[in-house]
Structure 1
């Protein structure tokens, strides 16, 4: 251990530091020793006092600084300003007054709130779309925006950990907020709010349920009686609203049956209950099983977990996501790119693919095969009828007028609900049967039988016209309102006795006149039509309705390819997806499809990841072409489509050249051309030019580009026509024989070639260099051109020793050529071939003689020996090619 220092040691050290000025005898005297000790003690005491004083002063200064330190200066945040204009229909709480904003929101039936940060780019983008939606729905929905970033504001204090902006929430009366997770454009927002406004469809007959099945991908039906309490109905209503947080486009239709008699007819014995009716099955919610009670969380989880659809609609959310990941499982994927307007009740192009998918997946050994077949035909009829509608013309021709008031005191008119044609009476358990449906059934117009017996689509639509006019949809088309009274009288014919008895009953009512009562049935119809026309006009801003092409001939309609149960005949399953081609056109462009130039912006592509290939529908999208496309793919009769970059894409980032693959050859600079799939084939087949092509997996590395430029410059210095190019294999597909397993790969195409034959590839394990490319190009040249290039390279060599070595290598190469051709001449038994080889040997010996006379000093442009050698090489080039046709002649 180290020795410690105590006070005695300190004293000893201090005494040794004194300067001795007397003799040793004086110093050792007792008197002097006593004086020195006293003086040393005084010095120690003085030093200690000085140290204590310094310590006290430092402590005082530190304490003073700590007590009187000024707070850190922080710049004030800018004063909050309006995010929306003062005259906007959106209530802008730009100071973050959360409680005041929510107080107004709670008073409205439906509210849509945007929590934003004014500096956020996404909030600034959504602002315009949010205001567009507010203009359309301002009469039915309260729109509000709250600045939740303003420091010190109420909203910031309550919500200070928002991960991203903006947050869009929909609020209904006495319900929690529903977070909007869908696309943030005005049309999608309006569609979402329409679903929130009307989350449930009331089912009063089996025909209503069938109509929903013909439109929706799935129907969730809740059987909730209203006799004793509305508790079960309220829970199902909340489930329908909460489901929109996960289903923003309305793929699942929620319906409710409040009549116990109708529930009994539909096979439901105990209520409350729920059913999920899918395209291939019907599931029933079992209370007491895995889901113990009738509550929101259990019901919502049950619906979302069991929901399936034949065609999945993929909606990418403009951020890093994995929308397609669950479908990439080794099986091929069929993707339909088509405009999918969220405001249209039906999408015929999507509906057609859904019919095809149901037919493709409908195996005969399936128990629900018959159910799927009938539903498929029903959906086909619904699609054909929808294609006949012209909503714009209906809105233009519709005359908004006040209804005529019948002053007869004994007149009774039933109040017609907006969501169906059956009266909404207080006693909902009394189920009223649809007499018109029975009438059509008796006349033999059952949908399945009628579709089987009819070959013409127009005949189907015409025969079902009256059924469609009297359909439950409101608003429908002009014909519905023209025949509205006829439809009512049509039903009254089945209940004449009851009508006669009721006509004489005196009705005492406190209802307001129709002119002053805005809730009167006729006024509600007028208001509903106005709102419908407003939405229709707004929906056309997204794009007009898209209808698949009609099958031209009657024979083709009959001979449509049958793919029923085709999925069960193979060991793979074809996943079918649908993507909006308007907002997500960049996905199609990444696949090399310029969807903007396709008819109706609609196309179909099949991606086969297992075989690394894709197939694009070449014909117009129709019921016949899509079925044949799927069948030919299954039977492997399709030709692979080569994916290439869409040059004219307006919104796809691409950092390539703009020369469209044109070959540029100049003497001063080397242009490396960026190729596409099409320009690659053109360049590979160009004769008279040595082509150096680098195929890279993305952008080519710098050393590859330098090697291309250096190799092209060396070959061009030898009086050869050379072109250098590169291709991004991730954006452009090549034919199978050019597929490589490692990037970068370099191909050399010789000047004299037939098509693409004769190309050579650079060794995959070697680093790409200019000299290596020149060597590879020399191997692809004929002997006369090869010798000429090597002589030119000897001329550019530096140093006498290198030039001697270069000439020696050329002589050795020429000797090898003479020996090889002499061997061919000796083995040949064909006279004409032997004569051609003999003439070639004569010219080779002439070149060998001229080369043997060459010296290092003769490698100059003015050398006569060099000119003589080049002339000999020219004669050899003229006699080098042998006519192959002489081999076919008999000697």
Structure 2
């Protein structure tokens, strides 16, 4: 049957759901496919048009927003202003780096500070920098460059500086020396003095002996002057470069420029360098291995071999970095004393050096003789230095006006007594040989000349016979050890000798007359003396020189004690003026000590410290070290210094109200025993590592309040164990630790500690306090607690626990009564059992309704507890001892 129109339409509609099969026999198949393609193309075109329209609209909106958006508001850079208020410092506050460097290159020595105006450290160093400029303005050029100003030349070239300020010294021969030392005026002045005079010229063996007796180490360069001075220049720059690592001048640099003197000292090949330490001498051979005569190799060689008997620590606010290499488990001796670097010598530090060298000077060591003689030289230098009156000399020094230059044929040549070898390479061949040559060549003793001076050390410690000591046979010449006043009179003798010459007629010269020549020898001497006096006066204003007290009695020797006792002790010296907080952290009020000087031994292995109680003298410090090695010192308990205003401490002082009626007392090392031994008072002490937590404090206050409410006199206290040392048996293994001391007379022996694994709570503290108390007081407190209980079931449980507890105590005492064979002890136990049974009887009659203050049953129970307390204590030890004595007698 042929389909009708209606049926055909239905087929077409239903065929949209699946793709129809196209057949050539179907007359309408081609028309249908074309129609479907046209519909698809229309849909795609419409979709593309919609997408393009959305894109155009978004682009228009974006363009409109970009064109009409207001620019971001950025504040302008504030205008740079002057940072320094003195004309002594050239302040390049706009960051003109090239102009500043051009000015610096014109000066011999320049000290430059790169700063940021907003930096707090830069603001602090500014005052110190101005002080240094006021002291050395005539010799050093001072500049300051603002390296933070945005857009400035300095900021553009140096935009990654990690910290401010940066201090650098520029000299004619160096590229720049970074200053890494303390940023205080005296340290910077001392550093600049070392830069201005980096080398000491050695003309005689006495000059070398002088340096060895005053310096921790001496680096000697043998660079005789030839047609070229490249070897000398390398050694000169090495001395300058080393100051980046040695800012206080512990290493003294010397130079020998005479070939004959170098030959006398055993030098065969030049250039050559020797590093002379307190017990050894290192020699540098530039021709061997990878070594060469250059600054980098020489500086590395010096730093690797430098060693000193007493290390001078300068904390740069990095405590662990400075002290960690000495905290190796061995004992550590700390000397806190003022160490102003501007003084020529520090007698207190020099004394400790002598003691340390003596302590480590082993008898079987090859350098024993060398070290022994060096100790004597240093001791003589120190004692002579202590007799000098520098301030008196500066006040009485007569600054003479220069005289006119006279005929040079009649003027006496001024030759230094120490100038045995001139600058050139020629010298007198008839100069006397010194036994010091062999010492330098072999690295052993000073010379054979000191063998005649074998007197005891006590000879040198008596300052009244120093003049006599200076006349003895010493490694140096006699004139080297003469008194300071006689040495200083040399200059006046020179002027007198010149005035005594017959007056000659002047010779016309093209040179400036002396009164107009600021660089004449006489004017330079005057200027140098004035400069040294200014430095001395500046140093004295900071802190006067410290001299150890005189010795009373004989000095005990500790020669080689470090080898015989096998105690390796690290000895350290720290400036007590700048670093007094380290001493206060150890519990020492350094400001109240004489001359702010203290000696401490820290024994980390045994967690102990010992403090020298006597004045710092040559005798007391030796006895202190000897007694420590013999373990005869009494441990010093560290406690917090209350007057340490600048030491960070976040605890509390005095009484702290932690409740309405409870005071928690902050204990110290000195008040701990007195508090816990308070008669008739139960004491709860919280031992914390730092400040106690709020939870611990609250539990302590609640337990104390509850015990006081139950009729027990109790007090709460706490102590910071990190700042206050306790006796050994109270040193806790963990923090916090709660200790309970009972109110009886033997509180410390019967004390108890809260279990460290349990959480601290008020109920736990009360339970621990009850265990410390005797049975009568224990039962009385438990009854009071039952009375305070509100719930009926809780009251029943409380009374039940008390009854079970008293039955347990009766059983335990009955067991003791059965086991003992001593009649007196059996009688005492029987009497105690009778009172316990009486208490148990009254307790069995008590009901929860009877827990009232005016109840007759409760009063009877309390009376029975009073009778029990009278017969509770039994002195078992005395009874056993009495029985043993009677048995022995029978």
Instruction: Using structure 2 for the length normalisation, give the TM-score.
Output: 0.87
Aligned to 1:457: 462
Give the C-alpha shift of residue 52 in structure 1.
Answer: 2.6
Q: 1:728: which partner in 2?
A: 720
Q: Secondary structure at the match of 2:126?
A: helix
More deviation, 864-873/768-777: 864-873
Indicate the SS of the match to 2:309: coil
1:285-296 pair list within 5 angstroms = 285-296=284-295
Of 512-521 and 351-360, the range deviating more from structure 2: 512-521
The correspondence of residues 490-889 of structure 1 with structure 2, limited to 5 A, is 511-552=511-552, 556-557=553-554, 560-659=555-654, 668-754=660-746, 756-827=748-819, 830=822, 832-882=824-874, 889=882
- Work out whether 1:430 is the aligned partner of 2:427: yes
Question: CA, structure 1 residues 40+742, in 2 after alignment: closer, same or farther (shift >3 Å)?
Answer: closer
Q: Hey, what does 2:373 align to over in structure 1?
A: 374
The alignment partner of 2:112 has SS state of: strand
Find the counterpart in structure 1 of residue 55 from structure 2.
Answer: 55
In structure 1, how many angstroms separate the alpha carbons of the residues matched to 2:508 and 2:413? 14
The Cα shift of 1:595 comes to 1.2
Change over 3 Å in CA distance of 1:809–1:49 after alignment to 2 = closer
**Do the aligned residues in 2 keep the contact of 1:259 with 1:431 (CA within 8 Å)?**
no
CA offset digits 1:242-281 (Å, max 9, x no partner):
1100000000000111100111111112211111111111
CA distance in 2, matches of 1:815, 1:232: 99
Q: Deviations over 1:143-179 (max 9, x none)?
A: 1100001110000011011010000000101311000
Structure 1 residues 456 and 45, CA gap change in structure 2 (3 angstroms): closer
1:218-237 equivalent positions in 2, closer than 5 A: 218-237=217-236
Q: Distance in 1 between matches of 2:431 and 2:182?
A: 40
Pair 1:50–1:328, CA change in 2 (3 A)? closer
CA separation of 1:509 and 1:348: change in aligned 2, threshold 3 A: farther
Deviation at 1:671, TM superposition (A): 2.4
Aligned counterparts of 1:655 and 1:49: Cα–Cα separation in 2: 74
Corresponding position: 1:344 with 2:351: no
Deviation per CA, 1:667-712, whole angstroms, max 9, x where unpaired? 9422222222222222222221111112222333333223212221
Report if the CA contact (8 A) 1:291-1:298 is conserved.
no
Looking at structure 2, the residues matched to 36 and 234 of structure 1 have their Cα atoms a distance apart, in angstroms, of 99
1:811 and 1:471, CA in 2 relative to 1: closer, same or farther beyond 3 A?
Answer: same
**2:278 paired residue number:** 279
Task: Evaluate the alpha carbon distance shift between residue 264 and residue 41 of structure 1 in structure 2; reply closer, same or farther with a 3 A threshold.
Answer: closer
SS class of match (1:540): helix
Post-superposition Cα deviations, 1:492-523, rounded to whole Å, max 9, x if no partner, equal: 9xxxxxxx9xx99x999765433222222221
CA contact (8 A) 1:113 1:144 kept: yes
Which sits farther off after the overlay, 115-124 or 804-813? 804-813
Distance 1:268 1:460, change over 3 A: farther
Encode CA deviations 1:56-82: one digit per residue, 9 max, x unaligned.
343344456567876644322211111
TM-score in terms of structure 1 length: 0.87
Q: State how far apart, in whole Å, the 1-side matches of 2:211 and 2:547 are.
A: 21
Match of 2:268 in 1: 269
Q: 1:40 to 1:270 in 2, by over 3 A?
A: closer
SS in structure 1 at match of 2:810: helix
Alpha-carbon separation, structure 2, partners of 1:591 and 1:255: 40
SS in 2 for 1:452: coil
1:118/1:817 CA distance change after superposition, 3 Å:
same
Report the Cα distance in structure 2 between the residues aligned to 1:156 and 1:819, rounded to whole angstroms.
89
Conserved in 2, the CA contact under 8 Å of 1:398 and 1:478? no
* Deviations 1:119-162 (CA, angstroms, capped at 9, x unpaired): 11111111111110110000000011000011100000110110
Task: Mark the CA change 1:273 to 1:888 in structure 2 (over 3 Å): closer, same or farther.
Answer: closer
Q: Which moved more, 1:241-250 or 1:726-735?
A: 726-735
Q: 1:439-484: per-residue Cα shift (whole Å, max 9, x none)?
A: xxxxx9955644626465325521356899996799x954433344
Q: Is the 8 A contact 1:223 1:256 kept in 2?
A: yes
* Counterpart position of 1:22: none
What's the secondary structure of 2:765's corresponding residue?
A: helix
Residues 62-110 of structure 1: CA distance to partner in whole angstroms, max 9, x if unpaired?
456567876644322211111111x431111000000011111111110
Which 10-residue stretch deviates more, 404-413 or 798-807? 404-413
Which residue matches 1:21?
none
Residues 121-270 of structure 1 mapped to structure 2, 5 A cutoff: 121-270=120-269
Are the structure 2 counterparts of residues 507 and 481 from structure 1 closer, same or farther at C-alpha, using a change threshold of 3 Å?
farther
Measure, in 1, the Cα distance between the counterparts of 2:358 and 2:819: 68
Instruction: Describe the shift of the 1:44–1:175 C-alpha distance in structure 2 as closer, same or farther (beyond 3 A).
Output: closer
Q: Deviations over 1:531-582 (max 9, x none)?
A: 1111011101221111111112xxx23xx22211111113331111111111
| Alignment check: 8 A CA contact 1:334 1:576 kept | yes
**Equivalent residue, structure 1, for 2:488:** 481
SS at match of 1:588: helix
Shift of the 170–35 alpha-carbon distance from structure 1 to 2, 3 Å rule, reads closer
1:298-332 superposed Cα distances (whole Å, 9 cap, x missing partner): 11111111111111101111246511111122211
Equivalenced residue count is: 844
Aligned equivalents of 1:33 and 1:277: distance in 2?
108
Give the 3 Å change call, closer, same or farther, for CA 529–523 of structure 1 in structure 2: same
Partner of 1:9 in structure 2? Answer: none
1:279 and 1:310 in contact (8 A); partners too = yes
- Cα separation, partners in 2 of 1:471 and 1:434, compared to 1, 3 Å: farther
Query: Residue 657 of structure 1 contacts residue 673 of structure 1 at CA under 8 Å; is this kept in 2?
Result: no
The 10-residue stretch of structure 1 (305-314 or 826-835) with the greater mean CA deviation from structure 2 = 826-835
Contact 1:221–1:276 (CA<8 Å) still a contact in 2? yes
SS at 1:748 equivalent: strand
Say which SS state the counterpart of residue 288 (structure 2) adopts. Answer: coil
Match of 2:23? none
Question: Is the contact between residue 394 and residue 477 of structure 1 (CA under 8 Å) also seen in structure 2?
Answer: no
How large is the Cα RMSD of the aligned pairs? 3.6
Q: Which runs of 5+ in 2 are unaligned?
A: 1-11, 18-27, 436-446
Query: How far 1:229 moved relative to its partner?
Result: 1.4
SS in 2 for 1:323: helix
161-170 vs 721-730, which deviates more? 721-730
Structure 2 distance, partners of 1:574, 1:666, is 46
Query: How many Å separate the matches in 2 of 1:208 and 1:142?
Result: 31
- Of 210-219 and 743-752, more deviation after overlay is shown by 743-752
